Amino acid sequence: MPKDYYKILGVEKGASADEIKKAFKKLAMQHHPDRQGGNEAKFKEINEAYQVLSDQNKRERYDQFGSDFEQQGGFGGGANWDDFMRAARGQQGGGGFDFGGVDLGDLFGGMFGFGSGRGGGGHGQSQGRDIQVDVEIDFKEAAFGVEREVSLRKQSACDVCRGEGAEPGSSLDTCGTCKGQGQVMQQQRTFLGMMQTVAACPTCHGRGKFATKKCKHCGGDGVVAKNTTISVKIPAGIDTGQSIRLTSHGEAAPHGGGSGDLYVRVHVKPSKIFHREDFDIYTESTITFPQAVLGDTISVETIDGPVKMVVPDGTESGQLIRLKGRGITRIGSASRGDQYVKVKINVPKKVSKQARKLLEELGREI
């Protein structure tokens, strides 16, 4: 017997996309198998209906052929339970199904204990805050890499209790509130009725254990604000605006939670000599008119120091001469970009009579 998807979702045939989405959310929460009174078969039927009616092309075929539209060259049925749960957890492999813009992790995350946020140090513990510092380096340091020390003040694990929050010599007991799980189930009244949610235990702050005697130095929080110096290896080839991520070097979370990350944002001082474009370097060099005509070997400045460069005869003003492998080191590679030297010809404003005569003779020959 053909299925009436509109009836399954409890909407009229002319319902808008927003009305269909709202109906799906309400019914999905009501019949979710993990919820008391939930029904997996009903939930799957609701999901199948939503997969069709939330897609404009599928909906048009359904309106024309009914639920047998898949036999008319239409599309398959709804996503299964595993597809839905993977999508709800924000995981890959959700069967390629589109849930019509409904954020399933946001919809069910708080209710069933999973979501899109980053996990803590264990159980329901919080994660420390990510922090950022800025460091300035010069042009050559960016080209070849450098090691720098950065100083900052941040929340760090207490040195006395090592972040445990317990006075040295005292014990950590299993939390009686959550029975060592770090999480507690809570009943919350919503417009959909009573919903069950998961939250970090308020007694042990998600650790599953609590200190019988709090550390006097940190007051039992396990963290204190202190000045810290961290050595940072800045890779060769880095450019202004790029950041280096130091995992777990951010602020420590209280009560034994995990540490956040430290981001070191790099600023490169501009050079008076070198101009960078990606991994290539551009400089300028001035030559005389005879050098341009006859060619010559000149000394040019590179980030490796002065090198000899051949100026071919007949060089024109503005011409670029390439010095292969004299540019910036590519990040994560031993190879380097190139240096391009823009040649400028120095034309004298005044010349001697003899030089003028020679130039006039040259002009007649050219």
Residue closest to 251 by CA, chosen among 284, 225, 278, 271: 225
For residue 317, which amino acid is it?
S
For residue 4, which amino acid is it?
D
Q: Which domains does the chain have, with CATH numbers?
A: 5-112 (1.10.287.110), 131-268 (2.10.230.10), 275-365 (2.60.260.20)
Q: Is 284 helix (H, G, I), strand (E, B) or coil?
A: strand
Which of the given ranges, 59-68, 103-112, 266-275, has the highest pLDDT on average?
266-275
What is the DSSP secondary structure assignment for residue 79, as one 8-state letter?
A: -
pLDDT band per the 50, 70, 90 thresholds, residue 244: very high
Residue closest to 327 by CA, chosen among 282, 267, 268: 282
Name every residue whose Cβ is closer than 8 Å to that of residue 137 and which is 6 or more positions away in sequence.
Answer: 146, 148, 234, 266, 267, 268, 269
- Which range (75-79, 149-153, 174-178) has the least confidence? 75-79
% the chain with pLDDT above 90: 41
What predicted TM-score, i.e. pTM, was given to this entire model? 0.58
- Strands across the sheet containing 320-323: 275-277, 280-288, 339-346, 320-323
Segment holding 87, helix H or strand E: helix 81-88
Rounded to an integer, what distance in angstroms lies between the CA atom of residue 35 and that of residue 27?
12
